A and B are shown apart, each in its own frame.
Chain A
Amino acid sequence: MSANNNTKAAPIPSEEILSRKWDECLSNVIVKSGIGLSVGIVASALVFKKRSWPISVSTGLGLGYALSQCERNFNPTLVPVAKYQDKK
């Protein structure tokens, strides 16, 4: 916990922010799709009678979630359902 606090407190050199974002994105993708995969395997094995589609669906869900997180990370101004209207 304290290690976490320290890393948050130390300022990131500004040229690294994008690299940092990519790192987070990548880690997100790996983690979430991994979780999706495992959940899918478990669900397919236990609930869905060993069919193949729950695995792919779950992995896809995980990937999608990771993608939306990445999107929000890169573009923090994105708010769901809001549209940008140019001022006329």
Chain B
Amino acid sequence: MMNVNRLALAGSKHLRPSQYRVMAQRFNSTDAPKLTAAEAAARPVVKSGLRFRTKAFITLTLIGAGVAGVVKHSFDDEQFRALLEDNIPHYAHSLDKLEQLRDNEDVEKIIAGAALVGGKIVDLGKNGYRTASDLINGTTTPAPEKPASSVPSSASQLVKKVQELEQPKPAVAAARAEYIPSVTPAPAFLPGAAPGKNASHVEKPKIVEKVAKKVEEVKEKAVEIKENIQEKIAEKKEEAPAPPKKLIKIAPIESEEPVMSSLNATLAQLVHILNENGIPEQGHEVFEKANEELKHLSERVEALKVEGEAQAATVMAELTEKYKRIVDEKETHHEGHISQLKRELADAFEQEKKDAIERELKIQQEILREEQKQELIKYAMDMQRRWVREVKVRVENERGGRLARLDQINLRLKTLERQGVDNADFLDQSSRTHQLWCGVKALEKAYEAGERRPFDRELARLKRLAETEKDAEVLKVVLAAVPESVAAQGVDSVPELMDRFEYVADKVRQASLVPENGGVLAHGMSVVLSKLMFKKHGLVPGNDVEAILARTEYYLVENDLEQAVRELNQLKGWGKRLAKDWIVAARRRVEVGQAIDVINTHANLVSLTLA
């Protein structure tokens, strides 16, 4: 019954089929035996979930991963690291140590060493496995070729190859050393020159050859002649050993020619020799004939000489005559030429002299004229000066008389004029000063009013006054420094400023705890927490917001606006932004006050210098 009701209730709700199934299972599960309380307690309690050990392990792993992640990120992100270092004690120290560890080279070496050791262990393991499997199976498996050891074996192979290559080399070298030199002899002469001795004779001149030939011929002939003579002498000696010796007599020929004398000498020698040796009549006759012929020859030579000389003399005479004739002609010609030249030169000289004289005359004339002019000018000036002096003297005399009186009258007139002008000036000045004073007073009244009042009309009036006044530069500058908008709107009064300051101070306090670039939350926190801060009053030292506000308040109460503005200007950040307008308004008031002060002083000065 209960079940049916429940089912009905369940049906009224909107169920999903799975939910319906579950509900049906629950309601229909009447056949499952229900456990009694004692039996339930007797059963071993299977706690749901994992065991404590597993849980702890998982937690530790997660925490370790978290820490590792944090450390890794703090290495990468500087801002994150800074944040953590600020807030977690000893974090900076541990991070520095980790960094050192990371950068440490020893660690790298250790890691590399560990890698090597690991590799060796792996190899050992492999070897062991292989031997074990061999023992078990009874087979032998060869050690696998390690790629690492192949390198040195190939090196040894290379060495062997090199050695093999090196061995045949000495045999080859020996074969090369058995070089047989060639049999052909070196050429003894250069291909250009002709072989043989005649090479040296080619260069000699032909004349020398001829002479040499002649000399040889003569020598040969002489030798022949000598031989003949000797033969003959020998014959003669044999033929006639004892004929009567007739001495050959030769008359020595005297001539001037050296050839003749030498011939004669040789003949004499021959005769002497023959005479000594003995000679037949033939020879004697021959020699006498020869002597006669020599004589004839010498006479002939002499005759020829004389003839030659005569001829030479005649030729010489002719030549000298010709020469003389020619010389005379030339002389006469030249004399005529020279006399002509002389005449011409003389004429030219005369001409030149005349010209020079004329020139000199002209120059002299010029000089004299110049001098005359100078003299005239001087005289003229002199005359003029004398004339001026005369006039002056006359005027002086006159002046002494009537002109003096005119001067006096003029002087008096001038003084009168000046006095009149001064009077007028004075009156002007005093009236302007009055006006200035009135204007300043009006401005002051507007300035000191209890509330903000515009003073543009007063300012305009003052400007007009300043324009007409002389020595009013300062005034003009000061009046120009007050902007039109300020004059039109007026300037806050001190009570107004004080009121506004209270409001501003409140707002500044609210915004005082906002950090840089703070958002909504920061501002909200600042508003809330600032209400918990104490307010300060009076002249307190310090640079925080409260102190500044307290000092500004103090100066305001003392009516020292300038100092108040300076103090409030020291705010920073949001406070400054909030207080900006108040500072501007207070500054304006201060500036206008200063301008009014300056105008006051100016008016004072003017009225003092008036009298």
Bound complex: CA of A52 vs CA of B593, how far in Å?
68
With contact pairs A83-B79, A85-B79 given, residues A15 and B519 touching in the complex (Cβ less than 8 Å): no
With contact pairs A83-B79, A85-B79 given, residues A15 and B520 touching in the complex (Cβ less than 8 Å): no
Number of interface residues of A (CB under 8 A): 22
Bound complex: CA of A22 vs CA of B577, how far in Å?
16
Bound complex: CA of A25 vs CA of B522, how far in Å?
14
**Interfacial chain B residues near A21, Cβ < 8 Å:** 523
Residues 503 to 528 of chain B near chain A (Cβ within 8 Å): 503-504, 507-508, 510-511, 517-520, 522-523
Taking a contact as CB atoms under 8 Å apart, the answer to whether A17 and B577 are in contact is yes
Taking a contact as CB atoms under 8 Å apart, the answer to whether B511 and A75 are in contact is no
Bound complex: CA of A70 vs CA of B522, how far in Å?
12
**B574 contacts the other chain (Cβ, under 8 Å)?**
yes
**B581 contacts the other chain (Cβ, under 8 Å)?**
yes
Taking the closest CB of chain B, its distance from the CB of A80, in whole angstroms, is 13
Residues 36 to 54 of chain A near chain B (Cβ within 8 Å): none
Taking a contact as CB atoms under 8 Å apart, the answer to whether A74 and B503 are in contact is no
Q: In the complex, which residue of chain B has the Cβ closest to the Cβ of A84?
A: B517
Taking a contact as CB atoms under 8 Å apart, the answer to whether B518 and A75 are in contact is yes
Taking the closest CB of chain A, its distance from the CB of B189, in whole angstroms, is 97
Taking a contact as CB atoms under 8 Å apart, the answer to whether B518 and A74 are in contact is yes
Bound complex: CA of A69 vs CA of B130, how far in Å?
74
**A57 contacts the other chain (Cβ, under 8 Å)?**
no
**A77 contacts the other chain (Cβ, under 8 Å)?**
yes
Bound complex: CA of A18 vs CA of B581, how far in Å?
14
Taking a contact as CB atoms under 8 Å apart, the answer to whether B581 and A78 are in contact is no
Taking a contact as CB atoms under 8 Å apart, the answer to whether B504 and A74 are in contact is no
Q: In the complex, which residue of chain B has the Cβ closest to the Cβ of A85?
A: B79
**B587 contacts the other chain (Cβ, under 8 Å)?**
no
Interface string of B565-592 (1 = CB under 8 A from A): 0000000001001111110000000000
With contact pairs A17-B577, A18-B511, A18-B574 given, residues A74 and B582 touching in the complex (Cβ less than 8 Å): no
**Interfacial chain A residues near B522, Cβ < 8 Å:** 74
Residues 63 to 78 of chain A near chain B (Cβ within 8 Å): 67, 70-71, 73-75, 77-78
Taking a contact as CB atoms under 8 Å apart, the answer to whether B504 and A15 are in contact is yes
Taking a contact as CB atoms under 8 Å apart, the answer to whether A14 and B510 are in contact is no
Contact pick for A14, options B78, B517, B582, CB 8 Å: B582
Contact pick for B581, options A15, A70, A75, A77, CB 8 Å: A15
Taking a contact as CB atoms under 8 Å apart, the answer to whether A77 and B517 are in contact is yes
Bound complex: CA of A73 vs CA of B518, how far in Å?
11
Taking a contact as CB atoms under 8 Å apart, the answer to whether B580 and A71 are in contact is no
**Interfacial chain A residues near B500, Cβ < 8 Å:** 15
Taking a contact as CB atoms under 8 Å apart, the answer to whether B523 and A14 are in contact is no
**A19 contacts the other chain (Cβ, under 8 Å)?**
yes
Taking a contact as CB atoms under 8 Å apart, the answer to whether B523 and A18 are in contact is yes
Q: In the complex, which residue of chain B has the Cβ closest to the Cβ of A71?
A: B519
* CB-CB nearest 3 A-B residue pairs: A14-B581, A71-B519, A14-B580
Q: In the complex, which residue of chain B has the Cβ closest to the Cβ of A73?
A: B520
**Interfacial chain A residues near B582, Cβ < 8 Å:** 14-15
Known: A67-B520, A70-B519, A74-B519. 20 other contacts (CB 8 A): A13-B581, A14-B578, A14-B582, A15-B500, A15-B503, A15-B504, A15-B507, A15-B579, A17-B578, A18-B507, A18-B523, A18-B578, A19-B507, A70-B520, A74-B522, A77-B517, A78-B517, A78-B519, A83-B79, A85-B79
Taking a contact as CB atoms under 8 Å apart, the answer to whether B523 and A74 are in contact is yes
**Interfacial chain A residues near B518, Cβ < 8 Å:** 74-75
**Interfacial chain B residues near A78, Cβ < 8 Å:** 517, 519
Bound complex: CA of A19 vs CA of B503, how far in Å?
12
Bound complex: CA of A47 vs CA of B577, how far in Å?
49
Taking a contact as CB atoms under 8 Å apart, the answer to whether B511 and A14 are in contact is no
Taking a contact as CB atoms under 8 Å apart, the answer to whether A71 and B520 are in contact is yes
Bound complex: CA of A5 vs CA of B581, how far in Å?
22
**Interfacial chain B residues near A16, Cβ < 8 Å:** 507
Taking a contact as CB atoms under 8 Å apart, the answer to whether B579 and A14 are in contact is yes
Q: Determine which residue in B503, B518, B523 has the highest number of CB atoms from chain A within 10 A of its CB, and name it.
A: B523
**Interfacial chain B residues near A14, Cβ < 8 Å:** 577-582
Residues 533 to 589 of chain B near chain A (Cβ within 8 Å): 574, 577-582
Bound complex: CA of A21 vs CA of B524, how far in Å?
11
Q: In the complex, which residue of chain A has the Cβ closest to the Cβ of B510?
A: A18
Q: Determine which residue in A14, A15, A77, A86 has the highest number of CB atoms from chain B within 10 A of its CB, and name it.
A: A15
Bound complex: CA of A26 vs CA of B578, how far in Å?
20
Taking the closest CB of chain A, its distance from the CB of B17, in whole angstroms, is 17
Taking a contact as CB atoms under 8 Å apart, the answer to whether A25 and B520 are in contact is yes
Interface string of B23-59 (1 = CB under 8 A from A): 0000000000000000000000000000000000000
Taking a contact as CB atoms under 8 Å apart, the answer to whether B517 and A15 are in contact is no
**Interfacial chain B residues near A75, Cβ < 8 Å:** 517-519
**Interfacial chain A residues near B578, Cβ < 8 Å:** 14-15, 17-18
**Interfacial chain B residues near A19, Cβ < 8 Å:** 507
Taking the closest CB of chain A, its distance from the CB of B278, in whole angstroms, is 152
10 contacts between A and B (CB under 8 A): A14-B582, A15-B508, A15-B579, A15-B581, A18-B511, A74-B522, A75-B519, A78-B519, A85-B78, A86-B79
Bound complex: CA of A25 vs CA of B524, how far in Å?
11
Q: In the complex, which residue of chain B has the Cβ closest to the Cβ of A21?
A: B523
**Interfacial chain A residues near B520, Cβ < 8 Å:** 25, 67, 70-71, 73-74
Q: In the complex, which residue of chain B has the Cβ closest to the Cβ of A69?
A: B520
Taking the closest CB of chain A, its distance from the CB of B606, in whole angstroms, is 41
Q: Determine which residue in B508, B511, B579, B581 has the highest number of CB atoms from chain A within 10 A of its CB, and name it.
A: B581
Taking the closest CB of chain A, its distance from the CB of B522, in whole angstroms, is 8
Taking the closest CB of chain A, its distance from the CB of B154, in whole angstroms, is 56
Q: Determine which residue in B507, B519, B577, B579 has the highest number of CB atoms from chain A within 10 A of its CB, and name it.
A: B519
Bound complex: CA of A78 vs CA of B79, how far in Å?
17
**Interfacial chain B residues near A17, Cβ < 8 Å:** 577-578
**Interfacial chain B residues near A70, Cβ < 8 Å:** 519-520
Taking the closest CB of chain A, its distance from the CB of B572, in whole angstroms, is 15
Interface string of B317-350 (1 = CB under 8 A from A): 0000000000000000000000000000000000
Taking the closest CB of chain A, its distance from the CB of B163, in whole angstroms, is 66
Taking the closest CB of chain A, its distance from the CB of B80, in whole angstroms, is 10
Bound complex: CA of A17 vs CA of B582, how far in Å?
13
Bound complex: CA of A13 vs CA of B581, how far in Å?
6
Q: Determine which residue in A17, A83, A85 has the highest number of CB atoms from chain B within 10 A of its CB, and name it.
A: A17
